[in-house]
């Protein structure tokens, strides 16, 4: 590695770090504004125009707060946990392409790298949960471990399906397409400049979105820091800067999942209009990269807003339902997706076959999930009784009250 490359790498890292910090600040502001709009509130509006400086004020408050460590905490682990959560969240961004061949490091095994790094964060949550020496954080940490490990699998399988489709593990190939040659046969595999993979693999997109939400611990899968159950989960004993680091990591992860959805399914920097198609090929590379980066960011923020919207809408699942959903629905579906794409490619069928097969499967699974406990949207157990005032003889339920299908809690 030449000196120039080292300088560029360091400059890239520095820029990335600054950019991500700004992105996190903007995301917190956006989340609060989005939720406020959903909830008919104004949201932050005092600090700066439209409350834009609110995240800065929050950051300053958190940085200057007293950092408390519980007496019984395992101090080393307690200190290390936020680092274990935050560092991988930053590291993922090294491989994310912002434009054609534009990343801090362009990795040939980019997809593998993403999968490998994103699995580390859970260790930090578990460490924090254990080290805090609080029952809530312990429960939260264990919940996080169970949940994140389970939902890692569908994510990996979906990423694998994408890799099968483009016959490469490089993120550039996912966006720009790939040419492979087997013997004399050379085949052009599609990139996403023309048609994003979301239309080829709708099932993959859905699985990735749902599993991604679970991976982030966002509603409806926010059980590991569920406020009304385990208070704050692994973060319950953290305060000040330590807590801020957890917070930072959480928003970074939200951002990375949004970016991955865009890169894997919505053409990253090239879709809907690659810079060349807009301004021709004589555009300078800086301008091309700027336009590409802007496409990526716009789409990423849109996906992030979608995630915040979901947060404002849904209640949360219970742990057994969450695990059952992962193992009984998402993981089998992701394997179906993988096998389907392999079959389509092997027989050299056109790619719309994949879409045509996926859509009915999604529909069928959706209906099956809905009707699992017999066909009903809302239970028909409540009726309105009209009784005349002071009527004697209250109609009582039968002696041994039959209770409608009682779900056994012990899964």
Partner 1 sequence: MTDPVATQIEDKFTYQASSEPGTVDMMVNMGPQHPATHGVFRMELRVDGEQIQDVVPHIGYLHRGSEKLCEHELYSQIITLFDRFDYVSNFNNELVIVSAVEKLMGVEPPPRAELIRIIMCEFNRIASHLLFYGTFAIDMGAITPVLYNFRDREKIQSLFESVSGARMMHNYFRVGGVKEDVKDDFTSRALALCDELERGVDETDKLLTENEIFVERTTGIGVISGEDALDWGLSGPVLRASGVPYDVRVDEPYSRYSELDFGIPVGSAGDCWDRFYLRILEARESLSIIRQAMALLEPGDTMAQIRRIARPPAGEVYAHCENPRGDLGVYIVSDGGERPYRLKVRPPSFCNLQALKDLTVGHYIADAVVILGTLDIVLGEVDR
Partner 2 sequence: MTTEGSSNPPAKRREPEVPQAAVALPPEGIALAALLPEALADHGVEVGAAIDEVVCTVPADRLIDVCRLLKDEPSLKFEYLRLLTVVDYVEQVGEFEVVYHLFSLANHHKMVVKTRTAERRPSVPSVTSVWRGADWYEREMHDLFGVTFEGHHNLSPLVLPDDFDGFPGRKSYPLNDYEEW
Q: Between the CA of residue 191 and those of 143, 162, 175, 268, 408, what are the distances in Å?
A: 38, 11, 5, 10, 48
Q: Which of 407, 382, 212, 213 is nearest to 313 (CA)?
A: 213
**At closest approach, how far in Å is the CB of 392 from partner 2?**
4
Minimum separation from the CB atom of position 386 to partner 2 (A): 17
From the list partner 2, partner 1, none, which binds 45 (C-beta under 5 to 8 Å, kind-based)? none
Q: Which of 382, 394, 403, 407 binds partner 2 (CB under 8 A)?
A: 394
396 is a contact residue toward partner 2 (CB under 8 A):
yes
* Residue 399 is a binding residue for partner 2 (CB under 8 A): no
Taking alpha carbons only, the member of 290, 303, 291 closest to residue 262 is: 303
CB of 82 to partner 1, least distance (A): 22
Whose tokens are 């810079």? That residue is 275
35 near partner 1, judged by CB under 8 A: yes
Taking CB within 5 to 8 Å according to partner kind, which of partner 1, partner 2, none is near residue 379?
Answer: partner 1
Closest Cα partner for 196 from 258, 264, 254, 149? 264
Closer CB to partner 2, residue 1 or residue 385? 385
φ and ψ at residue 395, rounded to 5 degrees: -65, 115
Site map (CB under 8 A) of partner 1, residues 335-374, x = contact: ----------------------------------xx--x-
Please, what is the minimum distance in Å from the beta carbon of residue 65 to partner 1? Answer: 19
Q: Which positions from 55 through 74 interact with partner 1, judged by CB under 8 A? A: 72
Q: Which of 392, 399, 403, 409 binds partner 2 (CB under 8 A)?
A: 392
Residue 311 touches which of partner 2, partner 1, none (Cβ within 5-8 Å per kind): partner 1
Rank residues 176 and 217 by Cβ distance to partner 1 and give the closer one.
217
Choose among partner 2, partner 1, none what residue 393 binds, the Cβ cut-off being 5 to 8 Å by kind. Answer: partner 2
Sign of the torsion formed by the C-alpha atoms of 222, 227, 228 and 234? positive
In the bound state with partner 1, the residue whose beta carbon lies nearer, of 4 and 394, is 394
Residue with tokens 């993922």: 92
67 or 229: CB nearest partner 1: 229
Residue placing its CB nearer to partner 2 in the complex, 389 or 409: 389
Pattern 135-174, partner 1, x by CB under 8 A: xx--x---x-------------------------------
Q: Does position 393 bind partner 2 by CB under 8 A?
A: yes
Contact 110, 22 (CB under 8 A): no
Helix (H) or strand (E) holding 355: helix 352-370
Q: 297 touches which of partner 1, partner 2, none (CB within 5 to 8 A by kind)? A: none
CA dist list (Å): 328 to 325, 333, 336? 5, 9, 13
Query: Is the CB of residue 65 less than 8 Å from the CB of residue 247?
Result: no
d(CA 411, CA 407): 9
Binding residue for partner 1 (CB under 8 A) from 38, 115, 310, 342? 38
Distance CA 103, CA 100 (A): 8
User: By CB under 8 A, is residue 390 in contact with partner 1?
Assistant: yes
Cα separation, 153 vs 157, in Å, equals: 6
Check if the beta carbon of residue 202 is closer than 8 Å to that of residue 362: yes
- 329: closest CA among 156, 102, 150? 150
Using CB under 8 A as the binding rule, whether residue 4 contacts partner 2 is answered as no
Give the residue, chosen from 64, 185, 280, 386, that forms a contact with partner 1 under the rule CB under 8 A: 386
SS3 187: strand
The C-alpha atoms of residue 382 and residue 164 are separated, in whole angstroms, by 52
User: 185-189 and 178-182: which strand pairing?
Assistant: antiparallel
Binding site for partner 1 (CB under 8 A): 35, 38-41, 72, 133-136, 139, 143, 219-220, 222-223, 226-231, 311-321, 369-370, 373, 377-379, 381-391, 394-397, 399-401, 403-407, 409-410
Binding site for partner 2 (CB under 8 A): 390-394, 396
């Amino acid at each position: 590695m030449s000196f120039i490359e080292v300088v560029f790498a360091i400059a890239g890292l520095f820029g990335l770090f600054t950019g991500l910090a700004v992105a996190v600040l903007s995301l917190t502001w956006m989340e609060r504004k989005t939720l406020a709009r959903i909830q008919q509130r104004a949201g932050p509006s005092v600090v700066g125009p439209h409350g834009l400086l609110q995240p800065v004020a929050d950051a300053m408050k958190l940085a200057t707060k007293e950092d408390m460590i519980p007496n019984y905490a395992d101090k080393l682990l307690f200190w290390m946990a936020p680092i274990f959560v935050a560092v991988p969240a930053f590291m993922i961004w090294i491989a994310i392409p912002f434009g054609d061949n534009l990343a801090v490091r362009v990795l040939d095994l980019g997809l593998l790298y993403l999968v490998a790094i994103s699995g580390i964060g859970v260790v930090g949550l578990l460490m924090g949960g254990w080290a805090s020496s609080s029952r809530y954080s312990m429960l939260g940490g264990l919940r996080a471990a169970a949940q994140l490990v389970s939902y890692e699998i569908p994510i990996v399988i979906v990423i694998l399906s994408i890799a099968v489709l483009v016959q490469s593990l490089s993120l550039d190939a996912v966006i720009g397409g790939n040419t492979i040659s087997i013997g004399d046969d050379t085949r052009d595999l599609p990139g996403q400049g023309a048609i994003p993979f979301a239309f080829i693999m709708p099932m993959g997109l859905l699985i990735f979105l749902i599993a991604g939400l679970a991976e982030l611990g966002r509603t409806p899968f926010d059980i590991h820091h569920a406020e009304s159950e385990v208070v704050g989960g692994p973060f319950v004993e953290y305060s000040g800067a330590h807590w801020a680091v957890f917070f930072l990591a959480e928003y970074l992860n939200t951002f990375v999942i949004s970016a991955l959805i865009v890169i894997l399914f919505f053409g990253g920097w090239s879709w809907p209009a690659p810079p060349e198609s807009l301004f021709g090929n004589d555009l300078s590379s800086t301008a091309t990269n700027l336009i590409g980066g802007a496409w990526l960011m716009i789409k990423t923020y849109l996906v992030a807003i979608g995630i915040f919207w979901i947060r404002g809408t849904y209640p949360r699942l219970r742990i057994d339902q969450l695990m059952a959903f992962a193992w009984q629905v998402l993981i089998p579906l992701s394997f179906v997706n993988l096998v389907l794409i392999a079959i389509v490619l092997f027989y050299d069928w056109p790619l719309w076959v994949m879409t045509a097969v996926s859509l009915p499967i999604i529909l069928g699974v959706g209906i099956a999930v809905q009707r699992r406990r017999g066909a009903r949207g809302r239970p028909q157990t409540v009726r309105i009784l009209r009784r005349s005032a002071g009527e004697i003889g209250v109609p009582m339920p039968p002696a041994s009250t039959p209770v409608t299908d009682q779900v056994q809690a012990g899964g």
